[in-house]
A and B are shown apart, each in its own frame.
Chain A
Amino acid sequence: MDAVIQALGLNNTLVAQVFNFIMLLIFLRVVVYPHIVRILEERQNFIENNVAAAEEERKQAEALRQQYLDELQKAKNEAQEIIQKATKAGEDQAHEIIEAAKAEAARVKEAALQDITREKEKAVAELRDQVATLSILVASKVVSEKITADVQRGMIDEFIKEAGDLPC
């Protein structure tokens, strides 16, 4: 064993080197190591927070987008509805106006017809009266002496009737 140690050149340097390394280890542990661990932890937290924040923001943006889309769709629907309503109202109104116009026309026509009829009747009656009066006057002048009043009346009526049947 001594020979091996001699041949390898081993001596107390070995112990000293171990001691040296342990000293260095303690120094690094106390002075250097905490800083490295701290900064790496901080960076890890920083990145984690950033990632989480980005994820959160992405979610919010997605929700916002969805909301906007929904609102857009709603607005579109409403617009469509309004247009439909307006169209329907317009159609209804047009229909109403046409109906009213038709009714008015019918009424006017009816009134005109009535007027015509009334006027006609009035004219006929007037004519009849005048004819009767004239006839009476003529007849009385022509045959005042030969016909009695009754015969006269009967002849006049007959005449009027004939006259009434005339188209006018």
Chain B
Amino acid sequence: MSAAGSHEASKDMLTIVHDNLNIWGFPHGPVDFGLGPMNLKTLVMTWIVMGLVILFTVAATRNMKLKRPGKLQLMVEEMYQFLKGLAYENLDPKKGAALMCLLFSLFIYLLFCNLWGLVPTMMSPTADVNTTLGMAISVFILVQVLGLYYRGAKFFKHFVEPFVFFLPLVIVEELSKPLTLAFRLYGNIYAGEVLIAVLLGLIPLTINFFGGFIASVVWLSFSIFVGFIQAFIFTMLTIAYIGQVTAEHH
């Protein structure tokens, strides 16, 4: 078998696995509903994830108890407290409190997105570059707006610091922020899903019964970790960018 042949075969293998896993019958390409082309699978998965987030948070915040919090309530509270600690450390408490809702929603949404891809035949919405880039651009716009809101005209000063001819560099730096934010998340999650499929395709069923599943299990558990880490990084960087741009001193 030639090198080109094996490459062709591996590509075929991945396609076959994806085809086999596509039991819900999602179309491969973008679909046009009259609002322009959209990836139907991503959208459906996003709606499912949104539903899960809503289910989880509503279940956790229903019947909240002061003295004996339930498990779900504790999870949500701990998550909130953790993010609150981060936000209050990096921003001042006043700005942090104003942003807490956004940060909390961002974190829990991304977390559920990242983890949802680990469920068989499902896909992470964040494994689509549209989602991550959309989120990153939103954060980018939010950062600029907050900078303008908190610092006023002084906000534009940081474009020309320390010298005027740093302007192109600063602009490139600013633009690279959403791109890195988007592609870091996308790359990690998409790679995780591809490797799940690859492991499924590489290991024949017979071997799977004799310990071949170990690789998949290890990778899935690592993907859980990655999902948490990436959601955390995205949120943390959002806080950091906002902190940078709203800081009073320079």
Please give the residue numbers on chain A whose beta carbons come within 8 Å of chain B beta carbons, in ascending order: 8-18, 20-25, 27-29, 31-33, 35-40, 42-43, 46
Contacts and interface: CB of A to CB of B under 8 A. Distances in A.
Interface of B: 30, 35-39, 42-43, 46-47, 50, 53-54, 57-58, 60-61, 64, 66-67, 69, 73, 76-77, 80-81, 100-102, 104-105, 108-109, 125, 128-131, 133-135, 137-138
Given A12-B35, A20-B46, A39-B64, A31 B58 contact: yes
Those 10 A-B pairs whose CB atoms lie nearest each other, nearest first: A12-B36, A13-B130, A35-B61, A14-B134, A14-B130, A17-B134, A18-B134, A32-B57, A39-B64, A11-B37
A16 B61 CA distance: 28
Nearest to B64: A39
Contacts of B60: 32
Contacts of A22: 138
A11 B61 contact: no
Given A12-B38, A17-B125, A29 B105 contact: yes
Given A13-B42, A18-B134, A20-B47, A25 B54 contact: no
Given A28-B57, A39-B66, A13 B38 contact: yes
10 contacts: A11-B38, A12-B36, A16-B43, A17-B42, A28-B101, A28-B104, A32-B58, A35-B61, A36-B76, A43-B66
Contacts of B35: 12, 16
A40 B81 contact: yes
A15 B133 CA distance: 10
A5 to B, nearest CB: 10
A48 to B, nearest CB: 13
Given A11-B37, A12-B38, A28-B105, A40 B130 contact: no
Given A17-B135, A20-B47, A11 B36 contact: yes
B136 to A, nearest CB: 10
Contacts of A18: 134-135, 137-138
Nearest to B126: A17
A10 B133 contact: yes
A46 B58 CA distance: 24
A35 B130 contact: no
A17 B50 contact: no
A40 B129 contact: no
B104 A13 contact: no
B231 to A, nearest CB: 13
Nearest to B97: A37
